[in-house]
Chain A
Amino acid sequence: MSSVISRTGEAVEADSGPAQHPGPARRSLPASAAPVAASADAPATVPMAAPAAVPATAPKAAPTAVPVRLRGAVASLGGRPVLRGIDLTVRPGEVVALLGANGSGKSTTVKTVIGSVPLEHGALELFGMPYAKFRSWHRIGYVPQRTTAASGVPATVREVVSTGRLPQHRLLPFRRKDRAAVDRALDAVGMLDRAEDGVAALSGGQHQRVLIARALVGTPDLLIMDEPMAGVDAASQQVLADTLRREVERGAAVLLVLHELGPLEPLIDRAVVLRDGCVAHDGPPPPNTGQHALPGHDHVHPHTDDHLTTPGLLA
């Protein structure tokens, strides 16, 4: 498996960085903790756990470098200050949820972490490397917030997911092991049978699963997901939660932007709540976070129907 070799190579590189905190003891996650309690009405056609999706790389060498360390992040969009000094750390193997109301700076924080929004002040380290020197992008899997699927030209599910493999094959031709990795990632999200379908024909939940497969295809050490549950039907939420649990068990760290904890709650180690571009809470996930606490919040459970919106979108 090439991923093992490359990861080992990276681990060596990461070790040369500054010494970091060791990660917290991994919380054991019972596989029986069904994230969506009311999953009984999920259609049986959705494959749940796909064993082939978990590479048999067994015990992974514990990475010592801290995946994300953001210090005093200040950023603005179009002249309007959005982040006013955010501190955010994601330790190895940790699942961190970024919570907060709309406009509190959750997505901007994620975009500064991936370098889409430049930092005006503050410092960003990824896997122990300053952002400017960071090159190991293959260790990061990014799932953007997205509601629409297609671009101007048709593309199949496989073609979109294959772009996640670019850090591995680079300028070399796409080989059999790359194709196998794409198959595994598609299988993990239950979309292998739709591999040759056009992305324009997918529902919102299926599209989200494709974007997650695209992030998983390089077996990343850090998954960054921006509102993965937005506009996702219950069946896809279940698949997503299962996939995420397998990634966490594999040892990946996860940074999630969420509107509310919802079905992912049992997976989350720590919650960082933002308010007006500042960190308002950093610690164990608070009960009833997000919009639940606000008056007038209409709590409607997501349903199996693809066309219905989730509470995150309604709020």
Chain B
Amino acid sequence: MTEMFSLAFMQRALIAAALIGITAPAVGIYLVQRRQALMGDGIGHVALTGVGLGFIFQTSPVWMAVLVCILAAIVMELVRARGNNRGDIALAMLFYGGMACGRMLISKSPAASGASGSLDSYLWGSILAVDTADLVTIAALGAIVVAVTLGLRRQLFAVCQDEEFARVTGIPVRLLNLLLAVMAAVTVTVAMRVVGLLLVSAMMVVPVAAAQLLTRSFVATQALSIGLGVAVSLGGVAGSYQFDVPPGSAIVLLAIAVFAVFSAIAAPLAGLRHRSAAGAGGTAGPGVCDVVLPDQDGSRAGDPLGSPGLAQ
């Protein structure tokens, strides 16, 4: 079990996984809050076009994907901001077009024969192949994303909670929306190497979905989802080493398992918390109804409307 910590590629894999575990939920929580949980998925599809362009021009696929994803995220944000009824159709076109375009570009790339193998590494992640340069890229981009999403927490929370109200407070809503879209795009491309484009959205959504089963406040949800993100990322990578399974799948399935466990314990835990709060503060009412109803015949005398409650 411990020998994996002495292997250089495993050390790099674990560090990369931890960085994604922090970054993805930090952005994802705002997307979930705005009920755009699948936006990361859409960006992931479009990222494939960026990877394809990287192959065609023989440049870094990751940086090409960053560029294409940022453009796509800005387009998506503009479509969303217009409140267009056909917005979902427009986004669907973008997603499928991005996926198909990426596959086609890769097939036409000079290194087409070898590329299909490395295409797989972008679709499903290749965390064990992360080298030091990759790690530096992931750390730098991740640091920017975390700085923005945690530093502007109150502003982004306000925008995602109630965009119209946020506009009336005078904060730059459009700028913050674009910033969030760009951060989501950067996160997708950063997480691409770890869990793969097809599962990237899971790391942005599942830890948040699991955390919010147990929390009442936004701050606690954000903290817990980041903690869960790190835990399942490290656990998934370690498990993949131990049981020889793909790390991306292991991370996502572990996160979903945590979600399932949290779902099961959420209701009993809430009941427990409610009871302890009632015991401490005495704010809750009695456990059973102890109200004595007035005599039905006499109580109506002063009520001109008869029984308005029932009338409705």
User: What residues of chain A have their CB less than 8 Å away from a CB belonging to chain B?
Assistant: 111, 114-116, 135-138, 140, 142, 144, 151-156, 159-160, 162-164, 166-167, 169-171, 174, 193, 196-198, 214, 218, 224, 300-301, 303, 305, 308-309, 314
With A151-B160, A155-B161 already in contact, the answer to whether A303 and B309 are too (CB < 8 A) is yes
A114 to B157, CA, bound (A): 20
In the assembled complex, the CB of A210 is this many whole angstroms from the nearest CB of chain B, namely: 11
Docked complex Cα distance between A246 and B37 (Å): 42
Q: Give 18 new A-B contacts, CB below 8 A, not counting A111-B164, A114-B164, A142-B164.
A: A115-B167, A136-B170, A137-B168, A142-B168, A151-B34, A152-B32, A153-B29, A153-B32, A154-B212, A154-B221, A155-B217, A163-B165, A170-B171, A193-B283, A198-B216, A300-B311, A301-B308, A308-B312
Tell me the chain B residues, 217-269 only, with Cβ under 8 Å from chain A.
Answer: 217-221
A126 vs B77: C-alpha distance in the bound complex, in angstroms? Answer: 29
Q: How far is the CB of A216 from chain B (nearest CB, A)?
A: 13
| Docked CA distance A164–B218 (Å) | 16
**A275 CB → nearest B CB, Å:** 25
CA distance A155 to B156 in the complex (A): 13
CB-based contact B217/A152 at 8 Å: no
Contacting residues, chain A, for B212 (C-beta < 8 A): 153-154
B168 touches A166 (CB 8 A): no
Smallest beta-carbon distance B9→chain A, Å: 36
Which of B37, B158, B216, B311 neighbours the largest number of chain A CB atoms within 10 Å of its CB?
B216
Asked if B6 CB lies within 8 Å of chain A CBs, one says: no
Contacts of A305 in B (CB 8 A): 309
With both chains docked as a complex, state the minimum distance between the C-beta of A77 and any C-beta of chain B, in angstroms. 10
B1 touches A (CB below 8 Å): no
Residues on the B chain within 8 Å of A156, using CB:
216-218
B208 in contact (CB, < 8 A): yes
Q: Residue B169 at the A interface, CB < 8 A?
A: yes
**Complex: how many Å from CA A303 to CA B312?**
10
A207 and B286 alpha carbons, distance in the complex (Å):
24
**B288 contacts A by Cβ under 8 Å:** no
Task: Among B161, B215, B220, B221, find the residue whose CB has the most chain A CB atoms closer than 10 A.
Answer: B161
Interface flags for B188-225 (1: CB within 8 Å of A; 0: not) read: 00000000000000000000100010011111110000
In this assembly, does B154 line the interface, its C-beta being within 8 Å of a C-beta of chain A? yes
Contacting residues, chain B, for A111 (C-beta < 8 A): 164
